[in-house]
C-alpha cells in the first residue's frame, strides 16, 4: 500500500506497512474520523461462526429494541451453551463487527437463553476516557443499569 502526499509542490509517495491478519480492516484518519468498509449493516447480533471463523448474523432485532452498548464475545472462552462468553461493553462510540476492543469486566448478569446458562459480562472500554476509571458495575449511573436490564428482559432472556 502506498500513500501519496504533497510536499513543497511535489507529490511524494510514502510506504505503509500492510495490516496484519489479526488487525481490523479499517484505519483511523486525522481528526478521529473512522473509515469503514461496511455500509448499511442490519442492526443485529453478530457472532463468530465456529466452522468458518467468520463473523455471522446470529439474530436480527425486529422491533424498536436496540442494543444499549456494543455487544460481543470474549475470544477463547466457552460456556455451557458452547459459545464464547457474551460481553456488553459500555463506551462512547459504536464499533463494527469484527472489531477487537480492550475491555474491563465490571459486572455479571447471570442469565438463561434457550434453557442453557448464558451469563452476560458487563464491561467498559479500557481505552475510553469516559469509562476507563470504572472498576465496578455500581459506578455506572442507575439509568444505564436500567437500560441494560430492560434490554435483556425485552430480548426474551431469563434472569437466573
Q: Which of 46, 62, 67, 71 is catalytic?
A: 67
Rounded Cα–Cα distance for residues 74 and 6 (Å): 43
Q: Exposed, middle or buried, 35 (CB in 10 Å: 0-12/13-18/19+)? A: exposed
Residues 48/52/55/56 CA torsion (nearest 10 deg)? -90
SS3 assignment, position 126: coil
Q: Is 26 a catalytic residue?
A: no
SS3 assignment, position 150: helix
Catalytic residues: 67
Amino acid at each position: 500500500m502506498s500513500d501519496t502526499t504533497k510536499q513543497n509542490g511535489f507529490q511524494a509517495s510514502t510506504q505503509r506497512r500492510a495490516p496484519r491478519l489479526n488487525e481490523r480492516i479499517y484505519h483511523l484518519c486525522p481528526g478521529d474520523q473512522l473509515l469503514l468498509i461496511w455500509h448499511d449493516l442490519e442492526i443485529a447480533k453478530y457472532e463468530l461462526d465456529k466452522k468458518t471463523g467468520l463473523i455471522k448474523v446470529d439474530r436480527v432485532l425486529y422491533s424498536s429494541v436496540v442494543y444499549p452498548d456494543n455487544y460481543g464475545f470474549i475470544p477463547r472462552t466457552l460456556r455451557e451453551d458452547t459459545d464464547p462468553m457474551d460481553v456488553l461493553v459500555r463506551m462512547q462510540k459504536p464499533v463494527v463487527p469484527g472489531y477487537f476492543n480492550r475491555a474491563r469486566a465490571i459486572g455479571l448478569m447471570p442469565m438463561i437463553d434457550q434453557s442453557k446458562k448464558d451469563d452476560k459480562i458487563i464491561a467498559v472500554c479500557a481505552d475510553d476516557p469516559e469509562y476507563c476509571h470504572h472498576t465496578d458495575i455500581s459506578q455506572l449511573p442507575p439509568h444505564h443499569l436500567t437500560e441494560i436490564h430492560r434490554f435483556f428482559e425485552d430480548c426474551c432472556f431469563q434472569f437466573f
